[in-house]
A and B are shown apart, each in its own frame.
Chain A
Amino acid sequence: MGAAYLGETYWRRLIVFYIPMFMFLAAMLFPFYWMTVTSVKADAELYNAKAIPFLVFDFTLDHWIYLFRETLYIRWALNTLFIATVSTAISLFAGTLAGYSLARLRFPGSSTFGISIFVTYLVPPTLLFIPLAGVVSDLRLYDSPWALILTYPTFLVPFSTWLLMGYFRTIPREMEECARIDGATRLQAFVKVVLPLGLPGLISAGIFSFTLSWNEFLYALVFISSPEQKTIPVGVVSELIKGDVFFWGSLMAGALFGSVPVAIVYSFFVEHYVSGITGAVKG
């Protein structure tokens, strides 16, 4: 497409490209700037309607210190990390097996399974959280991290299966057949040939599942009640806001530090993430 723009004048390019692109970037990033700036402003400046809100005149780390010392924030971070890691591992395991089975093996009912996985992929958590709360408490998992570890796969497994199914299909069947001619069993061919070749797909599915679990809110809100068991999203919203009192400084610090880990993971794997998004949609 580059050739089409060669004849473009500087002014035209400024108006049709640089200005809109800058507006988009500013709009997409401003809330993060706002979070950061708010978290390092002293209260007197924060609650002064006359002060210029974009700048920091009275820098302080009090809100950060308060967040880490006086609240359960570190505990929530560890909970979130644990829950996201284990549920991602479970989902990758189940998703890889099911994805391979649906992509490669022919057996009666496989297309029905494929369709049911796809249908569950589109079932939103908001449809099920009330009965699921009952199931969770029947299994005596209420208020335990396992309530989330076992329920997050409901949206992670269909997603990973769908993504990996598409991924395994792109691996030439011949590679497996070669291995089998050399005496490998189906299972060995899967583990030694397909899995290594499918690694990029596994990373995409893993990164995506991890961020989805890290970000999950509704189940964590409904299935967990004690403050020390909460995850970051729920902890920040329910414990840092007391009634109508908003401690904006520490609230924004909590939002910032809850966003940074996913942003870091994401920045290392941008390409995998993007192929995860597009792959998940196209299947």
Chain B
Amino acid sequence: METASPTPVPPRALPAERAGQGGPSPLRRVLDLLENETVLGYTLMVPALLLILTFIAYPFGIGVWLSFSDKLVGQEASYIGVENFSRILQSQIFTRAAWNTILFTAVATVLKGVFGMWLALLLNRKFRFARFTRAAVLLPFIVPTVLSTLAWLWIFDSTFGVINWILRLLWQSEWSVLGLAVKENWGYFPAPQWLGDPILAMTSIIIVNVWRGLPFFAITFLAGLQTISPDLYDAGDIDGATGWQKFWHITLPLMKPITVVVVVFSIVVTFADFQLVYVLTRGGPANSTHLFATLAYQLGMASGNLGEGAAVALFMFPILALVIVFQLWYLRKGDA
């Protein structure tokens, strides 16, 4: 490899060395070798590649093999072809999980995008305590997700949670305006089971995901907004554009590249989410809120059926690959 360098770099040995007293020391020889761009390039890649090969590429290969095997915890595995995949595809729990994942990712990403843009526009104004506010809104994104999700679990609690406390207050309160009864006490409060009903549980999971991911969108959008030249808005003002028109015709088009990148990242992370569902519902009630990741965990880890679990996890791969290819294509296009 060391002889194949296309552009030989003149050796930068010290003058004393160049004078030569019976050949350079071994250390000097290694250092000289590292002067070669190709050798240094590969050498510096070694630690990263070693980690990636051992703990990503190799396990990925094992994962593919597991998904074609009947591996159970603590037992010898044998090849069973696509049996895992066909069994999974016929299971209603899996179909439900697949739809849940798609719905969850789509709804949460759209909400994060819309509210994130709104928050970024607010943060982009000049106001007192702007720095403090920016730091504060990022908090949900930086603290351990499972820990903040535990707080949400308690917020959603149907008996003692704060949401139902407020709803109960509204339900049982009586209002009158100028002596006219507007609302009466409706009596017994039918407390919503936020995490005990399939639709409400999915809604709750989406709310928490949006809460956690929103700051990421807002901060990246804010960074994008700050690169837009104020002259463009001044030009808009001269043309008599309203605030909305300026947003639609100036801000949004210029924000498109960063939006694409942020959305792609968010899709990957949201799609592969595990923690929210694990803490809030564990996939319940009656397996109605599983995502790919939590179902893979339940089959592979909780039930010990490693083959089936690996197969469920692998179902994430084609969709992720699609997203990655799109992202690479988009980056390329930007470079050209």
Contact = CB atoms under 8 A, between A and B. Distances in A.
User: Do A and B share a complex?
Assistant: yes
A153 interface: yes
A158 B52 contact: yes
Given A113-B45, A130-B296, A24 B137 contact: yes
Contact of B265 (A186, A218, A255, A281): A281
Contacts of B144: 214-215, 217, 232-233, 258-259, 262
B327 interface: yes
Contacts of B60: 123, 127-128, 131
B171 interface: no
Contacts of B41: 101, 105-107, 110
A184 B58 CA distance: 39
Interface string B290-306: 00110011001100001
Chain B contact-residue range equals 35 or more
A148 to B, nearest CB: 11
Given A105-B37, A108-B38, A116-B52, A254 B147 contact: yes
Contacts of B313: 126-130
Interface in A209-264: 211, 214-215, 217-218, 221-222, 232-234, 236-237, 246, 248, 251-252, 254-255, 258-259, 262-263
Given A107-B42, A157-B52, A186-B34, A131 B310 contact: yes
A20 B160 contact: no
B22 interface: no
Interface string A132-167: 111100000000000000110110011001000000
Contacts of A124: 268-269, 271-272, 293, 316, 320
Contacts of B220: 277-278, 281
A101 B45 contact: yes
A158 B324 CA distance: 14
Given A154-B55, A237-B146, A263 B63 contact: no
A218 B269 CA distance: 13
Interface stretch (A60-68, A89-97, A169-177, A196-204): A89-97
Given A248-B154, A252-B151, A274-B138, A115 B328 contact: yes
B195 to A, nearest CB: 12
Contact of B314 (A106, A127, A135, A281): A127
Contacts of A254: 147
Interface size bucket, A side?
A: 35 or more
B275 interface: yes
A278 B268 contact: no
A146 B12 CA distance: 41
A29 interface: yes
A27 interface: yes
A119 B51 CA distance: 14
A11 interface: no
Interface in B269-290: 269, 271-275, 278-279
B107 interface: no
A86 interface: no
B147 A32 contact: no
Contacts, number: 302
Interface stretch (B91-99, B179-187, B197-205, B211-219): B211-219
Nearest to A234: B146
Nearest to B58: A135
A259 B274 contact: no
A274 B62 contact: no
B237 interface: yes
A32 B151 contact: yes
Contact of B258 (A2, A28, A153, A282): A282
Contacts of B223: 274, 278
Given A31-B151, A122-B268, A128-B56, A237 B279 contact: yes
A186 B278 CA distance: 49
A126 B290 CA distance: 13
Nearest to A154: B55
A262 B142 contact: yes
A15 interface: no
Contacts of B42: 101, 107
Interface string A23-58: 011011111101100100000001101000110000
B261 A282 contact: yes
B238 interface: no
B55 A132 contact: yes
Contact of A135 (B40, B46, B62, B272): B62
Nearest to B66: A131
Interface of B: 12, 14, 31, 34-35, 37-38, 40-42, 44-49, 51-52, 54-56, 58-63, 66, 118-119, 122, 124-127, 131, 133-140, 142-148, 150-152, 154-155, 159-160, 162, 165, 168, 211, 214-216, 219-220, 223, 230, 233-234, 237, 243, 258, 261-262, 265, 268-269, 271-275, 278-279, 292-293, 296-297, 300-301, 306, 309-310, 313-314, 316-317, 320, 323-324, 327-328, 331
18 contacts: A28-B211, A54-B162, A94-B47, A100-B44, A107-B41, A107-B42, A110-B41, A122-B268, A124-B293, A130-B301, A130-B306, A135-B58, A154-B56, A184-B12, A185-B31, A254-B147, A258-B143, A266-B138
Given A105-B37, A127-B320, A282-B258, 7 more contacts: A1-B230, A29-B139, A129-B313, A130-B66, A183-B12, A221-B278, A233-B146
Listed from nearest, the 10 A-B pairs whose CB atoms lie closest are A124-B272, A107-B41, A126-B293, A101-B44, A98-B48, A131-B63, A131-B62, A259-B143, A94-B47, A105-B41
